[in-house]
Chain A
Amino acid sequence: MSEIHFREMASKSWLNILTFLCGSAVGFVLCSQLLSILLEEQKDIQPSILHNDPHARHSDDNEQNHLEGQMNFDADASQHKDENTDIAEKLYQKVKILCWVMTGPQNLDKKAKHVKATWAQRCNKVLFMSSEEDKDFPAVGLKTREGRDQLYWKTIKAFQYVHDHYLEDADWFMKADDDTYVILDNLRWLLSKHNPEEPIYFGRRFKPYVKQGYMSGGAGYVLSKEALKRFVEAFKTDKCTHSSSIEDLALGRCMEIINVEAGDSRDTTGKETFHPFVPEHHLIKGYLPRTFWYWNYNYYPPVEGPGCCSDLAVSFHYVDPTTMYELEYLVYHLRPYGYLYRYQPALPEKMLKEVSQIYENEDTKVNQEPLREKHK
């Protein structure tokens, strides 16, 4: 009987131990859950202090890397959470730009692809113009040949195509090459002062051969809706020639004939916005030799060094794929935190009224104040 009793006792004590262990396990798990919730909240506020704080160490503690845990990074990981793009978005709706990019079958993958991955997305509408159609890219087939001597013919056909299919979809029509980098936000700022019904076009103005000047092809140029209508009309009525080996000059001559004004695209401090070369070539004094054609071609006094280029530059040319992405990073990503830029450009009067409600709704900070100041 004592044996049975003993066995009973033994099993009972096993049961007791088991119960106790279960209890402690449950307690442990519950407690850890509770703590993790509490700690999680704390971490959101002070991530760098709670867990990985090596500065709480004492000087005699030579242990390195004893922290096995992880940093709880800020839950909202977006780089642009402090960025307000209301004005840019408003301009996107108000100043509609159709971009067409001059390219060719061999360059779709080499060059046009990178245009598509970067600035082209900011056009209200973008078309890639090639001699042959490419359904996958997609690229429009102009049914021309390729080659430098075909550029003007391609330009005429491209504008014709845009006119016939997309005239009502945009206010302004921008032509660029597949090695041109365009900053659409700045182009919209430039064009917001003008009316698409004006017969006018903008680009990097050159002075030779055409009295009012003509726009550099590579730096890109943009036609108002009225200018586009007149241009297309001019070929139907033979006012303008169909053939030329120099695209930009021929277009410039035509513009003059049809009374489309060659506009001044410089910013309010007189700095150029459309650029026929990459920033380095303009910024470095002496990069372009004095004997270079460029110095005699510029309509306005050409500047090299820091005064060459507007803060609100619109385009650069001869941009290779790597530089496309570099410019994209410099314009839309990298910035100096808190820096009060010297040039504080304002919106034109007519835009201000539309945009002023954005200010009223926003808690205005430093960067927006000078904008208001300019209009007092």
Chain B
Amino acid sequence: MISESSLFLKGVLLGSIFCVLMTMLGHIRIHYGKRTHHHERHHLQAPNKEDTLKISEDEHTELSKSFRIYCIILVKPKDVRLWAAVKETWAKHCDKAEFFSSENVKMFESVNMATNDMWLMMRKAYKYAFDKYRDQYNWFFLAHPTTFAIIENLKYFLLKKNSSQPFYLGHTAKSGDLEYVSVGGGIVLSMESIKRLNSLLSIPEKCPEKGRMVREVSEDKQLAVCLKYVGVFAENAEDSKGKDVFNTKSVGIFIKEAMTNHPNQVVEGCCSDMAITFNGLTCNQMYVMMYGVYHLRAFGHVFNDVLVFLPVNGSDND
């Protein structure tokens, strides 16, 4: 009897040790309680309330200033109207925004990339940005002029994320095995990521200027391939409800889809309250978004935010 119970106990001991080892090695995830999503992708979410409450009031302003975002907008002459709209609207909220164009366009200030190839433009822009601004900015946001971005929400999303870690964020998509950030929703790179990318740009075998494919591969996929080589992986950005914050469609499209798919929960099922980007906007829609985001609101709804962002000097539409 004694030997049997001691055997039993030895078994218990071994079982527990085995369990601890397994959990620590990370091969088994055991979850009880709320089961939400099962994803193969990596997801980053916006900070939750507990995180934000730990920041003292004095730190609010300091913290708000700690995000320095450099915006890269890739334009071509045909985008001239959108370019002007972006310049007049959301780009003013970047700590610095520069337009990188395929060629010089009269009356529009830009950095000339002297190429029509989108991938080449992207590479050159990242190299330029890194060489010139690596000490001044810690996050790099790249977009097309069809995108509208709310930089304040981007900064909030990046709260508690360390820019010296390799972040590569946006709206992700998959092409075979490759997970990449869709350029339509905007691409966010941390300082570390752009640093690693730059080290690779001069190595044509790893990060070629011309893709090895016969078919043309879009620049956002090419970027993902290069970044993968240096251990930087795409992550889909979501809010605490699991909704995308980087969007490759416009609000109007989301609403129309929601009216068809869930007509009883149109706005609730639409988009995140903390959305950072929308894509596919016309010039007029950019101005409407500025009013809708930075002005129009309901009286008597007050928010306890931990960050403080002041309006831009000399601007009349925000």
Residues 34-69 of chain B: 1 if any A CB is under 8 Å from the residue's CB, otherwise 0?
111111111111001110000001001000100000
Size class of B's contact patch?
35 or more
Q: List residues 247-266 of chain B with CB under 8 A from any CB of chain A.
A: 251-252, 255-256, 258-259, 264, 266
**Complex CA distance for A306 and B49, rounded to whole angstroms:** 34
Evaluate contact between A328 and B301: CB separation under 8 angstroms: no
**Complex CA distance for A82 and B318, rounded to whole angstroms:** 23
Chain A nearest CB, measured from B114 CB (Å): 33
Evaluate contact between B38 and A70: CB separation under 8 angstroms: yes
B214 touches A (CB below 8 Å): no
B307 touches A (CB below 8 Å): yes
> What are the residues of chain B within 8 A of A79 when measuring CB–CB?
239-241, 272-274
> What are the residues of chain A within 8 A of B233 when measuring CB–CB?
54, 64
Q: How many residue pairs bridge A and B at CB < 8 Å?
A: 318
Chain B nearest CB, measured from A328 CB (Å): 5
On whether A71 and B43 interact (CB within 8 A), knowing A54-B235, A367-B305, the answer reads yes
**Complex CA distance for A353 and B83, rounded to whole angstroms:** 49
Among A160-168, A198-206, A239-247, A340-348, which stretch is in contact with chain B? Answer: A340-348
Looking at the complex, which one of B19, B152, B303 makes contact with A83 (CB distance below 8 Å)? B303
Evaluate contact between A322 and B256: CB separation under 8 angstroms: yes
Among B6-14, B119-127, B139-147, which stretch is in contact with chain A? Answer: B6-14
**Complex CA distance for A337 and B152, rounded to whole angstroms:** 6
Evaluate contact between A325 and B270: CB separation under 8 angstroms: yes
Among A59, A87, A335, A365: residue with most chain B CB under 10 A: A335
Evaluate contact between A306 and B291: CB separation under 8 angstroms: yes
On whether A36 and B301 interact (CB within 8 A), knowing A44-B50, A73-B36, A329-B271, the answer reads no
On whether A334 and B293 interact (CB within 8 A), knowing A73-B240, A82-B305, the answer reads yes
Evaluate contact between B288 and A280: CB separation under 8 angstroms: yes
Evaluate contact between A283 and B291: CB separation under 8 angstroms: yes
A361 touches B (CB below 8 Å): no
> What are the residues of chain A within 8 A of B49 when measuring CB–CB?
74, 76, 81-82
Evaluate contact between B60 and A28: CB separation under 8 angstroms: no
Evaluate contact between A341 and B153: CB separation under 8 angstroms: no
B195 touches A (CB below 8 Å): no
Evaluate contact between A185 and B310: CB separation under 8 angstroms: no
Chain A nearest CB, measured from B124 CB (Å): 25
On whether A87 and B300 interact (CB within 8 A), knowing A19-B11, A35-B30, A343-B295, the answer reads yes
Evaluate contact between A57 and B231: CB separation under 8 angstroms: yes
> What are the residues of chain A within 8 A of B211 when measuring CB–CB?
none
Evaluate contact between A336 and B179: CB separation under 8 angstroms: no
Evaluate contact between B33 and A325: CB separation under 8 angstroms: no
Chain B nearest CB, measured from A67 CB (Å): 7
Q: List residues 183-234 of chain B with CB under 8 A from any CB of chain A.
A: 228, 230-231, 233
Evaluate contact between A283 and B272: CB separation under 8 angstroms: no
B132 touches A (CB below 8 Å): no
Residues 60-100 of chain A: 1 if any B CB is under 8 Å from the residue's CB, otherwise 0?
11101101111111111101111111111111000000000
Size class of A's contact patch?
35 or more
**Complex CA distance for A16 and B2, rounded to whole angstroms:** 12
Chain B nearest CB, measured from A6 CB (Å): 19
A356 touches B (CB below 8 Å): no
A169 touches B (CB below 8 Å): no
Evaluate contact between A77 and B241: CB separation under 8 angstroms: yes
B18 touches A (CB below 8 Å): yes
Looking at the complex, which one of B13, B240, B273, B285 makes contact with A333 (CB distance below 8 Å)? B273
> What are the residues of chain A within 8 A of B155 when measuring CB–CB?
337-338
Evaluate contact between B296 and A331: CB separation under 8 angstroms: yes
> What are the residues of chain B within 8 A of A26 when measuring CB–CB?
11-12, 15
Among A129-137, A292-300, A308-316, which stretch is in contact with chain B? Answer: A308-316
Looking at the complex, which one of A87, A329, A340, A367 makes contact with B270 (CB distance below 8 Å)? A329
Evaluate contact between A24 and B15: CB separation under 8 angstroms: yes
Evaluate contact between A331 and B297: CB separation under 8 angstroms: yes
Chain A nearest CB, measured from B306 CB (Å): 7
A21 touches B (CB below 8 Å): yes
Cβ-closest 5 pairs across A and B: A23-B11, A27-B15, A88-B300, A24-B15, A27-B12
Residues of B within 8 A of A (CB): 3-4, 7-20, 23, 29-45, 48-50, 57, 60, 64, 150, 152-153, 155-156, 165-167, 177, 179, 228, 230-231, 233, 235, 239-242, 251-252, 255-256, 258-259, 264, 266-267, 270-275, 284-285, 287-288, 290-311, 316-318
Residues of A within 8 A of B (CB): 15-16, 19-33, 35-37, 39-40, 44-45, 47-48, 51-52, 54-55, 57-62, 64-65, 67-77, 79-91, 117-118, 183, 185-186, 188-189, 279-280, 283-284, 287, 305-307, 309, 311-313, 321-322, 325-343, 345, 363, 365-368
A-B contacts, 5 listed (Cβ < 8 Å): A30-B12, A30-B15, A36-B30, A82-B304, A336-B309
- Known pairs A330-B292, A332-B267, A337-B305; list 13 more (Cβ under 8 Å): A19-B11, A24-B14, A35-B23, A71-B43, A73-B242, A79-B272, A84-B301, A280-B287, A309-B291, A322-B255, A326-B255, A333-B273, A335-B303
